[in-house]
Amino acid sequence: MLSRKGSKLLVLLVATALCLSLLAAVVSAEKVKLKYTYWGSPLEKKAQEEMLEDFMKAYPHIEVQPIYIPSDYVTKITAMLAAGDPPDVGQLGEGQVLAWAEEGVVLDITPFMEQDPEVSFDSRLPMTWYMYDGGTKTVGTNLAVEIMMMFYNKDIFDEAEVPYPPAKADEWTWDEFVETAIALTKDRNGRRPGEPGFDPNNIDTYGVAFGTWWAPILPFVWSNGGDWFDEEGRETLINKPESVEALQKLHDLIYKYHVAPTPTQMQTFPAFNILLQTRKVAMVIDGQWSLLDLAQSGFNLGCAPLPKLKEPACLELGAPNVIFSATKHPQEAWLLYKWSTSASSVMPLIQAGLWMPLQIEYYTDPEKMNEWLTEGVHPPEYKEAAIDYALEYGRRAPSYYMRNWEEITQAISQGLSNFWLGKEDAQTAADKVAETLKPILQGRYDR
């Protein structure tokens, strides 16, 4: 039989257990539910799901529903908003995000940043911020950092006895790059461009390959001292001498020196990693993200910054993560936003070569750098060729601030198409594009 003291203790324990049970039930009942939308490759999908699982372990009172949208992303997000079933946090395309910010569809995160020192303008690379309302507001940064750079097959260089490209951006000139591309190009009879009997119609290995969309092209315009838009984003400079000269130099790689395939040929070629693996091409100009596939392609991979015309230039780009203004749980959405854009949360994708971190400390602190640089993925020269290149010469792509960006890129792509096909000279094509752009250019979101 229990004593009176024991009975009181038992009652107290039962009451405590009952209170804890009721509290747990209340917490469970009040569990916050968020929706997170995203796109990407199967690897990205898996990594994002793992990121969300880790987030829910860290914040057990929050439940996140991952919504994977591999295609027609904006259309489906728009439908969700119209149906009153909005996402809370998610990715959004560069061409959409700031227009939606001005319309109030996505949140300005500066009020959150003012209350939370974990995210600040000083903690992330300066060229990664999407600013609007005259530069006073921001939707945040990219999900990760990406740059345009050079990749190459070292074995092709070795067999041709050609030195590897310099890893330092200020040490590789355009003329040296052209000479390298010529030395690596050979026709089916082993002849190089400029040698007697060279057959440009039957090339076995090209020195270089590049796409003709805006991102591989613009850094060379910058490098030549030019731009495509003035400071206010209301006038085009695409037909000015510095831009036209850069366009012509890229054009010459295809039609004068015969060291690069034509756009028509590129449409029939496999992906860049296959071109390098099969030795159809010695060098490619591509986004840093391609390192994911390149590192798994089984050849001796090297990387380099883009060659300079006058000064080194590095183009940085990437789609942002945002908080949608219709969220009913802004504080929890902020926690998820922070988590999803933290390098430590998406480290598998960074270590695999798909992404680069946002936080500056991962570029300047050797210990932090070692957390993401991966042997067998990032080539030995990657630190100078990519990290230093981005830090010293990184510049925001116009997609971060230009109004009507999708219309602008469409006009440029269509206007330069005959030029890239060898049917127009650079000045003629650029003049036509300039005329087309006049009514489209309506300034910048950050001015």
What does the pLDDT look like over 39-74, one tens digit per residue?
A: 998 888 998 999 999 999 999 999 999 999 999 999
Q: Give me the chain's average pLDDT, please.
A: 94
**Per residue in 107-166, pLDDT tens?**
999 999 999 999 999 999 999 999 999 999 999 999 999 999 999 999 999 999 999 999
**Per residue in 367-413, pLDDT tens?**
999 999 999 999 999 999 999 999 999 999 999 999 999 999 999 99
129: Cα separation from own chain's centroid? 13
Asked if residue 15 has pLDDT above 50, the reply is no
**Quick one: pLDDT band at residue 30, thresholds 50, 70, 90?**
confident
Q: Output b/e per residue, 298-307; b: 16+ Cβ within 10 A.
A: ebebbbbbbb
Name 13's Cβ contacts closer than 8 Å, sequence gap at least 6.
none
Q: Output b/e per residue, 225-264; b: 16+ Cβ within 10 A.
A: bbbbbeeebeebbbbbebbbbbbebbbebbeebbbbbeee
The pLDDT score that the predictor gives to residue 209 is 99
Asked if residue 215 has pLDDT above 60, the reply is yes
Q: Which residue carries 């690069």 as its tokens?
A: 260
The pLDDT score that the predictor gives to residue 43 is 82
Assess whether the region 32-145+318-341 and the region 146-316+388-437 belong to the same CATH fold: yes
- Per-residue tokens: 158: 């070795």
Pairing of strands 321-323, 281-287: unpaired
**Quick one: pLDDT band at residue 342, thresholds 50, 70, 90?**
very high
CATH number of 32-145+318-341: 3.40.190.10
C-alpha span between 90 and 77 (Å, rounded): 10
C-alpha span between 161 and 196 (Å, rounded): 21
Q: Which long-range contacts (CB under 8 A, 24 or more apart) does 377-382 make?
A: 377/291, 377/295, 377/351, 377/352, 377/353, 378/291, 378/295, 378/353, 379/301, 379/302, 379/303, 381/164, 381/167, 381/302, 381/303, 381/304, 382/303
pTM of structure: 0.91
Which CATH number among 3.40.50.800, 2.40.37.10, 3.30.200.20, 3.40.190.10 corresponds to the domain 146-316+388-437?
Answer: 3.40.190.10
Asked if residue 3 has pLDDT above 80, the reply is no
- Domain limits, the chain: 32-145+318-341, 146-316+388-437
